[in-house]
Amino acid sequence: MITSKTFLKKTRRGSVLKVVREHYLRDDIWCGSSSCVQCSDPNPSLEKQPKSFSTLYTEPHYLIPDTNVVLHQMDVLEDPVFQNVIILQTVLQEVRHRHSPIYGRIKEVLTNKERHFHSFTNEHHKLV
């Protein structure tokens, strides 16, 4: 499925350009969860029953932090208590452009399989 975003952009000389950006949406992008019955992910990175180490919220859950949380609370996210975290592709791109040392730190956490972090490509995912 193809979606397109169209907008007008004014140049420095004052002329107006029409910019069209196409996104190819896919329905075969895996969510990374072991409990998902729609995806056929051979190596899911998120646990089926996530453990909660917090006494404030005891139900099993996944965390999805936004860009500000990753940028300003990276020390907290690196703590081993935080597991089963989904990092969106758009958040990773924005962190990469804003602060490259923090981008390196989040990529390092994403590669650690014991932490159960998952990078989800939300920009190209087609909602079912």
Q: What is the pLDDT of residue 81?
A: 85
> In which domain, by residue range, is 73 found?
32-123
In a domain, 12, yes or no: no
In this predicted structure, the answer to whether residue 1 has a pLDDT above a threshold of 70 is no
For residue 25, being part of any structural domain is answered with no
pLDDT band for position 119 (50/70/90)?
confident
How many domains does the chain divide into?
1
For residue range 44-75, what is the model confidence (pLDDT) as tens digits?
A: 788 887 877 777 778 888 888 999 999 999 99
Domain at 110, CATH number? 3.40.50.1010
**What pLDDT band is residue 4 in, cutting at 50, 70 and 90?**
confident
Plot region of 122 (φ>0 → left; ψ -120 to 50 → alpha; else → beta): alpha
Q: What are phi and psi for residue 101, nearest 5 degrees?
A: -65, -40
Domain annotation covers residue 105: yes
Place of tokens 């397109």: 4
Assigned domain for 17 exists: no
CB atoms within 10 A of CB 107: 15
| Residue scoring higher pLDDT (93 or 45) | 93
